Structure 1
Amino acid sequence: MTALTVQPQNTILDLTDSKLRLKDILKTLPRESFQRNRRKAWTMVLVNVLMVGLGYWAIQASPWFLLPFAWVFTGTALTGFFVIAHDCGHRSFAKRKWVNDLVGHIFMAPLIYPFHGWRLLHNTHHTHTNKMDVDNAWQPFRPEDYDEFGIVRRVGYRHMRGRLWWLASILHWGVVHFDLSQYEPKDRPKVKVSIAVVAVFAAIVFPTLIATTGVWGFVKFWLLPWLIYHFWMSTFTLVHHTLPNIHFSEPEDWDEAQAQLFGTVHCEYPFGVEFLCHHINVHIPHHLSTAIPSYNLRLAHRSLQKTWGSSLQEHRFSWKLMKQITDQCHLYHPESAYQSFKDYQGKR
């Protein structure tokens, strides 16, 4: 089943062409990239459920000194749950809307993430990628805005952009996705349904877990894997659009094709992470078209590599990369790019 039909072209497009359009880029991709495959989609679900199940078995079977490994494995596999729901949110998992909504709610419920709340705000990010004051995913603040922050917000921002980046996803989850004022009135009934789903899940699972395994059981089986999941969420989303040479534009200067193709980072993680998280970090084709299912992202990216070559932002995950981002990518001005807190000369 085809979400979007395009014909591949062998023409090399001019990177400097100010009239470069998103649809021109999409025409370079193989049409197979856009095809949903029911077998691949449900195999992804089955494998992910088995991996999460294996992780929970490892948690209950492991001696104390192996528990950290079990938590990392399980939390990473739970991140795969989010990626499945991510496909559902973009309607690239199944043809029927109700199937996408049902599967999305099921797989986000253990993460206590309201499906529709996330889906609606996430679509804003895709529509306005790297557009200053509009993009809502890890957009850096301007120095003049940072100057106006109160002390609490300033300290929080410094830490979330620094060595505590891995907690930022939790802050975003708690502050944004349960706040109905973030959504248009017409969308609020859907968001309320999603909040109710996670509330019911928590009301049933959390007391049952504590009653049967104690408070430590709750921490051991849910909280710590959940924290690992948020580590990956924070890391993935930060790296997707944050490097010293990634450009953010004023709304009046923003160019959709340039932002989606060159403002998005492809980052290779270790094989196990890519496998458990369904290659969501093959991120450039996903920004060109959310109709591409996660299992087709590598096919689309290989095509982009042939067409755009070294012009693409391609990196390999490392702590050196994270240090570069968290040391340099703090405050931003479209004319002078990133400024670190160390070099910041405004209010302290």
Structure 2
Amino acid sequence: MTTSIIKSQEILVSTDLDKDQIKLKHIIKSLPKECFQKNSRKAWTTVVLSLAMAALGYYFLAISPWFLLPLAWIFTGTALTGFFVIGHDCGHRSFAKRRWVNDLVGHFSMMFLIYPFHTWRIKHNHHHKHTNKLDEDNAWHPIRPETFENWDKTKQSAFELFMRKRLWWVGSIGHWALVHFDARKFEKKDQASVKLSVAVVLIFAAIVFPSLIITTGVWGFIKFWFIPWMVYHFWMSTFTIVHHTTADVPFGSAEKWNEAMAQLFGTIHCDYPRWVEILCHDINVHVPHHISTSIPSYNLRLAYASIKENWASYLHDECKFSWDLMKKITNECQLYQTDIGYITFDKYYAQK
């Protein structure tokens, strides 16, 4: 392999390093400086795009006959996912240079989804610090057999049903409900911010939900908010599980965890239909985001092209979103044996 000379930073980056020698700083230094540059025009264009597409989606919902509603729901819910990605950039302070702008836009974009901005920001940053680390990663993470055995029968049955019946698409709803509304689950220094974010979404819901029901009825609430919100969670759950889950992606215990390889090989690039990628601001181009959270969403493709050029041999194979992909993940990645890898429920029961 060749050595890439990064003249602007006057460093040498060897792509012939042993994987245990690779540090995140090596990868970050190999990226063009342009990847980290914030562009106000591009950032606010994502806001305008999401607002326009959501408005178009709701117009589509308002005029559609019943047989076109599924298409309208899918489009509108996907457009709403774009608001989450904008909040995602704000949470990583990569949307704007000023923190107050990030906080303001983050709260605005995520309140439509009833997602408390600061609670998500704090928890999500923990995921980045501990990606694919057993017992630490708080995003989608595998369940170990010993953990499964300590659950009561009801919880075991629910988890097994969740995986066998391919209910991954509701996974983020449970995470949203259980993790993001209780300030007591956060450090004292963060509790004021958490309470503020929870208050923002509760006030929004207290105003919008009754107004929607009064003007359009219960069916209007379901039609205009609940089902698009469920579509958003379909994408939220799907992106989250696909980003880091396949049978050959390891989750390491703390003493064996390699930060750089967790981000390079443990983060998977998946191609989705182009219209989904546009509405969701390229969140699927996820490897560079795990190399550095300071890369704005509109620079992810530039960064990924550089990573593929310099670090291709360390990357996981790319995949394409499909029902077969989701079947493969849910069929194979059910329980996780430390230092061995994923096993199925059937193999787990056969071993007992």
- Structure 1 equivalent of residue 226 of structure 2: 223
Deviations 1:281-338 (A, max 9, x none): 1000000000000000000000111112253121111111111100010111232100
Distance change in 2, residues 1:182/1:301 (3 Å): same
Alignment of 1:1-348 (within 5 A): 7=9, 11-162=13-164, 163-313=166-316, 314-345=318-349
Residues in 1 aligned to 2:234 and 2:212: alpha-carbon distance in whole angstroms: 23
Bigger mean CA deviation after superposition, 63-72 or 157-166: 157-166
Residues in 1 aligned to 2:350 and 2:47: alpha-carbon distance in whole angstroms: 50
Counterpart of 2:336 in structure 1: which amino acid? Y
Structure 2 unaligned spans of 5+? 1-7
Residues in 2 aligned to 1:191 and 1:231: alpha-carbon distance in whole angstroms: 25
Residues in 1 aligned to 2:271 and 2:163: alpha-carbon distance in whole angstroms: 21
Q: What SS does the corresponding residue of 1:338 show, helix, strand or coil? A: strand
TM-score, scaled relative to structure 2: 0.94
Bigger mean CA deviation after superposition, 337-346 or 224-233: 337-346
Distance change in 2, residues 1:239/1:146 (3 Å): same
Question: 8 Å contact 1:7–1:30 — kept in the other structure?
Answer: no
Shift in Å, 1:48: 1.0
Residues in 1 aligned to 2:117 and 2:333: alpha-carbon distance in whole angstroms: 30
Bigger mean CA deviation after superposition, 83-92 or 338-347: 338-347
Counterpart of 1:166 in structure 2: which amino acid? W
Residues in 1 aligned to 2:350 and 2:176: alpha-carbon distance in whole angstroms: 30
Question: 8 Å contact 2:13–2:26 — kept in the other structure?
Answer: no
Shift in Å, 1:9: 6.4
Question: 8 Å contact 1:159–1:165 — kept in the other structure?
Answer: no
Residues in 2 aligned to 1:207 and 1:126: alpha-carbon distance in whole angstroms: 37
Shift in Å, 1:343: 1.4
TM-score, scaled relative to structure 1: 0.95
Distance change in 2, residues 1:30/1:216 (3 Å): same
Q: What SS does the corresponding residue of 1:178 show, helix, strand or coil? A: coil
Counterpart of 1:208 in structure 2: which amino acid? S
Deviations 1:153-191 (A, max 9, x none): 212222333410101011110111112232111111110
Residues in 2 aligned to 1:321 and 1:15: alpha-carbon distance in whole angstroms: 32
Distance change in 2, residues 1:311/1:186 (3 Å): same
Residues in 1 aligned to 2:153 and 2:9: alpha-carbon distance in whole angstroms: 53
Question: 8 Å contact 2:95–2:296 — kept in the other structure?
Answer: yes
Residues in 1 aligned to 2:46 and 2:139: alpha-carbon distance in whole angstroms: 26
Residues in 1 aligned to 2:243 and 2:83: alpha-carbon distance in whole angstroms: 19
- Structure 2 equivalent of residue 3 of structure 1: none
Q: What SS does the corresponding residue of 2:345 show, helix, strand or coil? A: coil
- What percent identity do the matched residue pairs reach? 59
Counterpart of 2:227 in structure 1: which amino acid? L
Residues in 1 aligned to 2:14 and 2:320: alpha-carbon distance in whole angstroms: 26
Superposition RMSD in Å:
1.5
Residues in 1 aligned to 2:81 and 2:351: alpha-carbon distance in whole angstroms: 38
Bigger mean CA deviation after superposition, 329-338 or 51-60: 329-338
